[in-house]
Structure 1
Amino acid sequence: MESAIYASTPLAGADLPGFELFQTSDIEEARQWGTRVFCENRLSRLDTRKPIRTRMYYRRLRGLGVGRMSYGGEVTIDPGTFDSFVLVQMPLRGRELIETGGETVCSTPRTASVLNAHLPVLIRHENDTEKLVVRIDRDVLERYCIQHLGQALRAPIAFRPAMALDTTAGQRWMRLMTWLHTNLADDDEGLQSPLIAAQTEQMVITMLLTCQAHNYSEALAQEDRSIAPAFVKRIEHYIEEHADEPITILDLAEHAGVSTRSIFTGFRRFRNTSPMLYLKEVRMRRVHEELKRLIPGESTVTAVAFRWGFNHLGHFTTDYKRRFGESPSETLAH
């Protein structure tokens, strides 16, 4: 079943009148359009008996490039490395298999891909796939990140390549994308106002930096944590230290010295989650880290999941795949 975000979006299959439209059935012309909009690339048709029907709507907004596209047929796109931009791709239908940085992302309407500016990329775009895309200039992205951090970057920004779209953060991102595409299509002048365009650029980049995990996420979150009450930070620290132990909401209340109601209110207001969902996220992250460290044969997914408190393997596997874009067995096999 498709995510509700996609079921309600007006973007799939609709014209976007405020966008420039490219369309062709010629593979070389499609490659040239890709070069013009994104970067130099190698485009190959996987089934030469079937024609392609490339269709791309695209529009620039300051440091952003916003669009919707489909190749119609099954193709591979080999752009090498995106040196000057980050690309976020959100399938409306169909599927893409993307290899980047030693990982493989299966991108569907439930899982977007975030392709970094400094890692090689290979995309297999399957038949009848259509996607939204947002291209973000690397220098603009880094400038905003530096402003939020208040210090220089020690290394390039490296996003996790799979973005789960049926999480709270993923749905927040998709609501913004629907708003952005719709308003760019409906309003030829409003978003082009220098002030509004600058604010829109900032909103999109800040949303990506906060919705999708990357190597500066923890540093950026430290600033937000300072606003939260001390008991919220004490509970977070307790969960981090005791995630492998049985923990109840009463345990957290006793440790923090506040009521359970205060805990739920504090986490909802300052973390946009609940304390038990925060615990689940920490445990899920620990499972992921342990599976990546293990050598196949040393242990099993079941043993690791049980050790971190996941007793229903079916639910765990579903949640894990949404969170990391691959099954736990695939992580263990890497």
Structure 2
Amino acid sequence: MMADNGFSHRLSTSPEAFQATMSSLLRPCRFGRKLGRDYRTEVFHARMPSLGLTFVRMGETARIGVDAHEDMTLLQIPLAGAFVSREPRGRDLVCRAGASAQLVNANAPIDLEFEPDTSMLILNLDRRQIDILGGKTRVDGFTHTSRLVTLDSGVGRAFFKLAVFATRELEIRKQGFFEGGLAEHLEDTLIASLEAALDIAAPVEGRTGAHTGGRIAIAPSIIRRAEAFMAESLTRPVKLTDIVAASGASARTLHRMFREVRGDTPLGVLKTMRLDAVHARLTSGKAGNGDVTRIATELGFNHMGLFAADYRSRFGLLPSDTIRLSRTH
């Protein structure tokens, strides 16, 4: 249906077309009640580069029965509206845009009832991503127990906003989304922010804080190795797995240490280091307004709109203002 790193879009004008599309992408499904022949849904699907994304926009109220399928872990994020999730055991869970997402294991059947005009992003997580999230046992704690990931924390809201941005960017740019490394960076950032959101959402007694077992004692060396690697790689493409390998720690330990010691994720720290490097070049007195894009691109920023927003958030002014003020002084 699509290439590994491609984009597929389907506008379904009948329940049968929607069922065929979703069954080919993820799991066999069926509508729970008869719908009109003019019922319309929209589906698009992509990978970036190993994270599967499926976006669904429902045209009206709908109840869909999703059959058990092969073992896969899915995160269902309502981007607008809400849906009710029902399992055979009779437990109803309401998942509303901006408030929560749902982790499910596809080897169990589930019923979903959508409000009118609901849209949802489904992330298909592979083994590598599950490892970053803390491993299968930790993820199963959500898929089999709480099942809802609350997004009412700072990191939860950041994850939701990133999911919305990734969906809009993918929908607008389509195949161009995969050019220039943007999809790869967004995948790493999505998983890192989800990991932080899971840590906040987990029951207190289920967390394994870095202060237990003397783990905090190894934080400085882990962080120093990771940050030394990042400092040497500001102008090179860097994946999250590269930072993990350089640190000598597991992905889970690295994330936890960075959040406790730096108050940010490894990729967040890398972005800050790159912003500081851009700022240093722009304040050197040698840069002109026409150099901003070149300098930002050299330091790993592939989306100028996001770069400008991040720069202004950190320094309180736009890159062009920085150049103007540096010349004034």
Higher deviation after alignment, 21-30 or 218-227: 218-227
C-alpha offsets along residues 288-309 of structure 1, whole Å, 9 cap, x if unaligned? xxxxxxxxxxxxxxxxxxxxxx
Pair 1:157-2:150 in alignment? no
Given the superposition, is the C-alpha separation of residues 90 and 185 from structure 1 closer, same or farther in structure 2, using an over 3 Å criterion?
same
**What's 2:310 paired with?**
none
List aligned pairs for 1:149-298, cutoff 5 A.
157-159=140-142, 160-188=146-174, 191-193=177-179, 196-212=182-198, 213=201, 218-219=207-208, 226=216, 270=263
List aligned pairs for 1:307-326, cutoff 5 A.
none
In structure 1, runs of 5+ residues without a counterpart are 1-17, 230-265, 273-334
Higher deviation after alignment, 59-68 or 189-198: 189-198
- Residues 82 and 117 in structure 1, CA contact (< 8 A), matched pair in contact too: no
In structure 2, runs of 5+ residues without a counterpart are 1-5, 220-258, 266-329
- Residues 116 and 158 in structure 1, CA contact (< 8 A), matched pair in contact too: no
- Residues 153 and 197 in structure 2, CA contact (< 8 A), matched pair in contact too: no
Please report the TM-score for the alignment, with normalisation by the length of structure 1.
0.51
More helix by share: 2
User: Of residues 108, 117, 122 in structure 1, which corresponds to 2:110?
Assistant: 122
| AA partner of residue 64 (structure 1) | L
**What's 1:97 paired with?**
84
List aligned pairs for 1:129-148, cutoff 5 A.
129-145=117-133
**What's 1:79 paired with?**
67
State the Cα RMSD in Å: 4.1
SS of the residue corresponding to residue 175 of structure 1 reads helix
**What's 1:283 paired with?**
none
- Residues 155 and 193 in structure 2, CA contact (< 8 A), matched pair in contact too: no
Given the superposition, is the C-alpha separation of residues 162 and 111 from structure 1 closer, same or farther in structure 2, using an over 3 Å criterion?
farther
Q: How many residues align?
A: 212
| Whole-Å separation in 1 of the counterparts to 2:36 and 2:172 | 38
TM-aligned CA deviation for residue 192 of structure 1: 2.0
TM-aligned CA deviation for residue 99 of structure 1: 2.2
TM-aligned CA deviation for residue 267 of structure 1: 9.3
Q: Greater relative contact order (Cα 8 A, min sep 6): structure 1 or 2?
A: 1
TM-aligned CA deviation for residue 24 of structure 1: 2.2
SS of the residue corresponding to residue 105 of structure 1 reads strand
State the identity %.
13
TM-aligned CA deviation for residue 106 of structure 1: 0.7
| AA partner of residue 96 (structure 2) | T
- Residues 46 and 52 in structure 2, CA contact (< 8 A), matched pair in contact too: yes
Pair 1:69-2:57 in alignment? yes
Given the superposition, is the C-alpha separation of residues 221 and 125 from structure 1 closer, same or farther in structure 2, using an over 3 Å criterion?
farther
User: Of residues 35, 40, 44 in structure 2, which corresponds to 1:57?
Assistant: 44
